[in-house]
Amino acid sequence: MIKIFILLVFITSSLAKNKNTERHYQKIVAKELKGIIEHTLPDRTRVDIFTEDVAYEVDFAYKWAEGIGQ
């Protein structure tokens, strides 16, 4: 069974404009975790980062509710 975790990218302020994209942070975290970016699961849902047994959702702190919904 795949466990799903939410990874929020915290910038200095949740109201500050982001200098980097979500994809930028996905690449950094995926490299560290040795995961696959934008992986499609058998049920056709997509995850931001997928490792052997964990799916991660990467999002900015101000979009926390959206991340939980996904």
| pTM value > 0.85 | no
**Residues 35, 52 contacting (CB under 8 angstroms):** no
pLDDT at residue 36, as a whole number: 93
Per-residue pLDDT reduced to its tens digit, 4-51: 555 555 544 444 566 788 888 899 889 989 999 999 988 998 889 999
What integer pLDDT is reported at residue 61 of this predicted model?
77
pLDDT of residue 62: 79
Task: Average the pLDDT over 48-63 and give the result.
Answer: 85
Q: Residue 6 — φ and ψ, nearest 5°?
A: -110, 130
| DSSP run (H or E) holding 22 | helix 22-33
